[in-house]
Amino acid sequence: PPALPEVTDFSRFHGIGDESSKSRYYYKSIIEQWGRLYKKQGNPIIYRPYSWNLADGYLPFTKLKIWGEDIPFMKKTGVYGVLLNAYNDFAVNGAHTYLFVRMAWDPSLDWKQVLRHYCEKSFGKGADAMEKYYLSLVKRQSEAGQEAGCIFPYTLIYDQQFINDMKELLSDAEKMARTPMDVKRVRYAALPMEH
């Protein structure tokens, strides 16, 4: 297995096989080792992750790509079940919690199609802008090169231009949303960017 990276905690911003994250890539090798033991000894693996950023649960954060890639990997490796530590906050966690539940039942799903379905059902005519918003969060978070899950990397990940661009997408989504409930959901989803 690869040597333990200099980072002492596993990144909350990356998935298990995200090569841009030294700590998560190392963690992947640990799960693969457990998977080999499972196949050899028959002892099931239960995975117990968190579904939110423990350091600050109200800042922009997404596990869409993380769950979208980790769940199929876990299934393939031999993980028997997942005990998700989740908390009920639609604004920050709604999209990736929905994705987690869907993919936990069917790991073969394409996470981007599940996100699209979520956006259509949650935001109505504002779905296109909301999908772009979530995919922008995924891209920025995944590629930022930040390992920690605390609040300090946020100013490095989300600069003012990115925040302005996201607020514009959220505003577009609100304008496009037709029903009062769709508008309300867009406003809730916008709260992390306000924070």
Q: What is the pLDDT of residue 3?
A: 58
> In the structure encoding, which two tokens stand for residue 129, read together?
């802008």
8 Å CB contact between 42 and 4: no
pLDDT band for 195, please (50, 70, 90 cuts).
confident
pTM of structure: 0.91
DSSP of 126-160 = GHHHHHHHHHHHHHHHHHS-----SSTTHHHHS-H
Binned at pLDDT 50, 70 and 90, residue 2 comes out as low
pLDDT in tens, 52-71: 887 778 889 899 999 999 99
